[in-house]
Structure 1
Amino acid sequence: MKYIKDIQEPEMGTWYFEIDNDGVAYRQIVFHDDGTCITSNRKHDFYHFMLAEHPLDAQESYYKEISQAEFEKLWHEQLQLGLEDWHRTQRLFPVGARVEGYIEAFFPQGTLINLLEPYAVGITDTSVLKSKTPAEWMYPRYQVTAEVSGYDEVNQWVLLTRAEVIGSQK
């Protein structure tokens, strides 16, 4: 992975990205000039799930390479702010539990599932989900059932297995 930052135009803040060798973003942090912050692992009221949709060219002059340690420090600080919500989510969704939710977004890591509780986000393997789901159901708001298999501590997501799209929209 590579780590880059981009200081946008005035009033646009500073953007940080974790990207793979093809420029695909896996994590993103945006610090606005007013002190607010948006991270790609959490749904934002206005921006939804914010993650670069197209590969980034780290060679562009407006990107500056940063260390993984710098990125991880910023990411960890943001995770700490949501730690109480994350612990609540883990209590609500123990390993082995059957859960319901709906498709929120598609990320490189998998399909994000809204688990119908504040700040509770699940993730499941997109390719497995696609293999047993009609294409017309692979869209946001389609309802999903799944089983909790663990936790992604890096993103504070609930890991889901045996996910099925049930064919109706939320």
Structure 2
Amino acid sequence: MGTWYFEVDNDGTAYRQMVHNEDGSWITSNRKHESRHFLLAEHPLDPKEPYYEEISQAAFEELWQKQLLACMEDWQRIQRLFPIGARVEGWIEVFFPQGTLINLLEPRAVGLTDTSALEAGTPAEWMYPRFRVLAEVSGYDELNQWVLLANAELLGSQLDESESGK
């Protein structure tokens, strides 16, 4: 099981999560894991439960920053591939408290767009994983190493298995 770390708000909603496995490997919520997908607690956590032990925000940040540094080469490559202003295509991966995560069809490239803006004027039946998205790169989320996307629109079709590299 390893050691699990969560960053939560006052309501117990997890925004970031890390798992330090017993074999020494790490899983972080900002990156897709080959077997765990995007790992983030789906339900509010109650920090008063006896199996949780609180650590400081500084301690969490120190661990998080080590994981970001380990992926810095990938992150710099992704920023070069997705310059601000570029139109990009991808597909919905998952919905997080921060917004909708978009697979940008490049290894380890994750986009983030505003869920409520994406929902506006979009049929509800399109708001599911694997639906195609077209958007514009508007910046970068350095805290999670995500490409920020604006003016996102759903195209109404799903990515088929052969296109996803699965």
Using the size of structure 2 for normalisation, the TM-score is 0.95
1:40 aligned partner: 29
Percent of pairs with identical residues: 72
1:101 aligned partner: 90
1:19 aligned partner: 8
Choose the corresponding residue for 1:66, options 55, 60, 69: 55
- Letter paired with 1:168: S
The answer to whether 1:77 aligns with 2:47 is no
**What is the total number of aligned residue pairs between the two structures?**
159
Choose the corresponding residue for 1:86, options 75, 85, 93: 75
Alpha-carbon distance in structure 2 between the residues aligned to 1:31 and 1:113: 25
The answer to whether 1:144 aligns with 2:133 is yes
1:119 aligned partner: 108
**How far has the Cα of 1:131 moved from its partner?**
1.2
- RMSD between superposed Cα atoms in Å: 0.4
Alpha-carbon distance in structure 2 between the residues aligned to 1:16 and 1:53: 14
- Letter paired with 1:141: R
* Dislocated runs of 4+, deviation >2 Å: none
**How far has the Cα of 1:106 moved from its partner?**
0.2
The answer to whether 1:163 aligns with 2:146 is no
Using the size of structure 1 for normalisation, the TM-score is 0.93
Q: Which structure features the higher share of strand residues? A: 1
2:17 aligned partner: 28
Gap regions ≥5 residues in structure 1: 1-11
- Letter paired with 1:41: N
Gap regions ≥5 residues in structure 2: 160-166
**How far has the Cα of 1:65 moved from its partner?**
0.9
